[in-house]
């Protein structure tokens, strides 16, 4: 198998001061647990997300690499880098900086502006296949501007999808949305020349079909997404929590929520094997980010994660708020044609 991407989790202190040549094959980077990404050069798309690492001291940098030659550019609020098949981009928008007078809140205005810019870039550069999106903003379950902030984000994201000619159900990208401790609306995304395939979880209601109790507009994401074509696919499992059907389970029990999350991830992998037979990795061949609402839950959650994925799988544990107030844990994963490294 030839890797299309590589992913490595590198302590931030080891990234700072790397020579220019070290960055030549880097598509982009996300610094978790830092308030700025000053250690990453300007030519590289980068985010700093205020979600501290819990399982080690200091910030951690998620480094994505791809085959050279790479080209970079800036399009409005987006800094991006790409090769002939993949494009990685990053957006940071202060909520009050871009606001469309039609928007009901600053977050809605910033979210719609960010996604419109994202789709305009993909259309202009010829990467129609939005594969994976990471979304971070503070106060995700707080109420402001007339409603819960995650609901406002979902409304604006869906508005942008529709305005830019994208569907809001079916073949939509893998995604997550987490609450950072502070900072702007921060979005990283990965797109392809070809359209990916969306994967749903037979144990869960598709997020874009959630009933109105979870907000006036449904979230626009699939449970996982895989690249098409021959060979091993790029596989991205969306942020996965203790939800069966559309209901949250195991309130107040971080261990039970983690176990339920893995049942969901296994179900998603099973569905991916049905869609792309023989080309889907096992749990221990994936890399993970685990988001915890309460740092005190780290020991029990980390032990549970390792029981499922083994001692060698790359995993980082981060402090962040999940998009429902009763959820304590969210887990995302990736693998397939991605070379994995770092712990």
Catalytic residues: 330
- CA separation, residue 189 to residues 27, 102, 105 (Å): 11, 26, 23
What distance in Å separates the CA atoms of residue 90 and residue 26, rounded to the nearest whole number?
Answer: 13
What distance in Å separates the CA atoms of residue 11 and residue 60, rounded to the nearest whole number?
Answer: 4
CB 301 within 8 A of CB 292: yes
- Taking alpha carbons only, the member of 128, 96, 130, 126 closest to residue 113 is 96
- Taking alpha carbons only, the member of 181, 132, 188, 140 closest to residue 34 is 181
**Which contiguous run of DSSP H or E holds residue 120?**
helix 106-125
CB 309 within 8 A of CB 214: no
Tokens (6 digits) for 331 = 């887990």
Decide: helix, strand or coil at residue 217: coil
- Taking alpha carbons only, the member of 334, 205, 224, 207 closest to residue 274 is 224
What distance in Å separates the CA atoms of residue 241 and residue 321, rounded to the nearest whole number?
Answer: 12
CA dihedral sign, ordered 28, 7, 290, 51 = negative
């Amino acid at each position: 198998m030839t890797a299309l991407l590589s992913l490595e989790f590198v302590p931030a202190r080891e990234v700072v001061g790397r020579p220019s040549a070290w960055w030549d094959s880097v598509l982009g980077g996300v610094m978790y647990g830092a308030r700025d990404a000053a250690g990453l050069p300007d030519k590289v798309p980068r985010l700093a997300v205020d979600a501290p690492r819990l399982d080690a001291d200091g910030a951690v940098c998620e480094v994505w690499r791809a085959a050279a030659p790479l080209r970079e550019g800036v399009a409005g609020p987006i800094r991006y880098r790409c090769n002939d098949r993949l494009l990685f981009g990053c957006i940071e928008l202060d909520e009050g900086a871009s606001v469309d007078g039609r928007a009901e809140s600053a977050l809605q205005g910033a979210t719609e502006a960010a996604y419109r810019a994202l789709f305009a870039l993909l259309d202009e550069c010829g990467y129609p296949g939005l594969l994976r999106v990471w979304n971070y903003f503070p106060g995700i379950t707080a109420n402001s501007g007339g409603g819960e902030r995650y609901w406002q984000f979902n409304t604006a994201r869906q508005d942008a999808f529709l305005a830019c000619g994208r569907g809001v159900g079916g073949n939509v990208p893998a995604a997550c949305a987490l609450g950072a401790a502070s900072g702007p609306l921060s979005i990283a995304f990965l797109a392809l020349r070809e359209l990916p395939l969306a994967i749903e979880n037979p144990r869960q209601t598709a997020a874009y079909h959630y009933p109105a109790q979870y907000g006036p507009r449904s979230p626009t994401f699939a449970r996982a997404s895989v690249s098409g074509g021959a060979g091993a696919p790029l596989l991205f499992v969306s942020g996965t929590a203790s939800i069966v059907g559309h209901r949250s389970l195991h309130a107040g029990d971080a261990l039970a929520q983690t176990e339920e999350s893995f049942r969901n991830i296994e179900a998603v992998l099973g569905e991916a094997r049905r869609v792309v037979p023989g080309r889907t990795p096992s749990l221990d061949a994936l890399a993970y980010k685990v988001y915890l609402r309460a740092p005190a839950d780290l020991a029990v959650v980390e032990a549970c994660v390792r029981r499922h994925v083994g001692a060698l799988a790359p995993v980082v544990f981060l402090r962040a708020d999940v998009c429902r107030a009763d959820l304590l844990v969210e887990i995302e994963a990736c693998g397939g044609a991605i070379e994995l490294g770092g712990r």
